[in-house]
A and B are shown apart, each in its own frame.
Chain A
């Protein structure tokens, strides 16, 4: 994907938006230019703080999800016995839309940052777990044997085989689930909080009826999701060059 193409698409969408706004002349659809100016003004103030709060919640969940899911996924992928015990549980939990846990997690963990981080963690955790597990199970026994014959014990196998083998799975999981994670973040921020983009959008739109500000919040939330996707994609290219080179 070329950067110019993405930029061009963004401009086309803005032009369509601008044209619709001019045609409809409704306060609930302010022109793109007004919203962009509002966004640029607000992002250095209030909106910026809400953005950073949301970014912190997503980043913390992502890091925690990786730290928890990768070792467990590698363990399950390596051990058929462990996998036989846990895979029915994962099979059961995996398709449940995690967003339905929002009220339960709020009841148990309260309205602070922890409950929001935990909900996003749930989404990312299972996704990473399943992909890393399947990747670790795919490692050919011949590969392990020849690396062991070079003197590798458990630690070296982990460092030189299992860890690099799981990296692409982590990035695939992140790219697949970051959109959902940001969507669920929005929902969690509608409940009993005064910080975060979800709160900002809701407040501006439903209470204050500041439509340009509301749209600026929507743009900030979109940029959050898009930015995280770009970072995951960039890290994937940077850290897994063998995959990129294969495709090229």
Chain B
């Protein structure tokens, strides 16, 4: 589904964050990208989201070169990215509002898809994520977990096939974080979503990634990949396999200079 080929990216000439980087993701895979601060993991996610353009090389999604944000890619960020002046419902419908603003022009919205009534697409998500009774509230009146669930509803109501997340639960307390991680696991299995989560915490990478790409100090010329196939199975959070993955990841991070 995603093919990164010979990717080089630099914010400043001569200081590449990625150099000749290759990576492949198949449809339906669950990836986590782990690395210390400043390793370029957020940059990498923005490249996959089409928010940054490679200096050289290419990112292809479904064999299409990626030149701008793709309508079928959902993005969830740590600081939620909600409009302070929009209610929960307005925020959750924002993707549809933007699509009807442009019309189905293939550039901002998938072509040939009727936009129709956004409420019928957004309300089921608000109900499922426990936000329906809060739909007239503003983000400032919500808890962190409720804000992030609003951002999730906004993204998923657009029916993405690829979900990109940047430290999505880092600002939340532990119980909220775990409950939202479980929500993501459920949705992944139910919708056959391809998910890529960027995180700096070993535990989150082990929970959300069946494959974990470990990045180091830039320039990254190809990260280390750790496989973690039993992730997402019931009771994984307390299992020996989980602890083993965490140990492997810890060692892997320590080995990087």
Q: Which residues of chain B are within 8 angstroms of A149 by Cβ–Cβ distance?
A: 49, 51, 69, 73-75
Residues of B with C-beta under 8 A to A206: none
Q: B85 and A156: CB pair below 8 A?
A: no
Which residues from A are CB-within-8-Å of B73? 149
For residue B98, CB closer than 8 A to chain A, the reply is: yes
State A151–B100 Cα separation when bound (angstroms): 11
Interface-facing stretch out of B58-66, B101-109, B185-193: B101-109
CB of B81 within 8 Å of the partner chain = yes
> 17 A-B pairs, CB-CB below 8 angstroms?
A143-B79, A145-B49, A145-B51, A146-B77, A146-B81, A147-B83, A148-B69, A149-B69, A150-B69, A150-B155, A151-B69, A151-B71, A151-B99, A152-B98, A153-B102, A160-B94, A245-B141
Which residues of A line the B interface, CB within 8 A? Answer: 140, 142-143, 145-153, 155-156, 159-161, 164-165, 167, 240-242, 245-246
The CA-CA distance from A143 to B82 in the complex, in Å, is 7
Among A140, A143, A151, A242, the residue within 8 A (CB) of B102 is: A151
Once A146-B75, A146-B81, A149-B73 are accepted as A-B contacts, the answer to whether A242 and B99 lie under 8 Å apart by CB is no
Q: Are B85 and A147 in contact (CB under 8 A)?
A: no
Task: Write out the residue numbers on chain B whose beta carbons fall within 8 Å of the beta carbon of A159.
Answer: 101
Residues of A within 8 A of B107 (CB): 153
Give the CA-CA distance A161 to B86 in the complex, in Å: 10
Tell me which residues across on chain B come within 8 A of A161, comparing CB atoms. 83
Q: Are B98 and A145 in contact (CB under 8 A)?
A: no
Contact A160 B151 (CB under 8 A): no
The residues of A that contact B209 with a CB separation of less than 8 Å are: none
Q: Interface size on B (CB < 8 Å)?
A: 36
Q: Say yes or no for B46: interface residue by CB 8 A criterion.
A: yes
Given that A148-B51, A148-B69, A153-B108 are known contacts, is A242 also in contact with B84, CB under 8 Å in the complex?
A: yes
Closest CB in chain B relative to A214 CB, distance in Å: 46
CB of B115 to closest CB in A, whole Å: 11
Taking CB atoms, residues of chain B closer than 8 Å to A242 are 84-86, 138, 140
In Å, the complex CA distance between A110 and B211 comes to 76
B77 touching A164, Cβ below 8 Å: no
- Contacting pair A152 B108 (CB below 8 A): yes
B216 at the interface (CB under 8 A from A): no
Which chain B residue shows the least CB distance to A168? B85
Given contacts A150-B158, A151-B69, A164-B83, 11 further A-B contacts (CB under 8 A): A140-B79, A146-B80, A151-B98, A151-B102, A156-B98, A156-B101, A159-B101, A160-B83, A160-B97, A167-B85, A242-B140
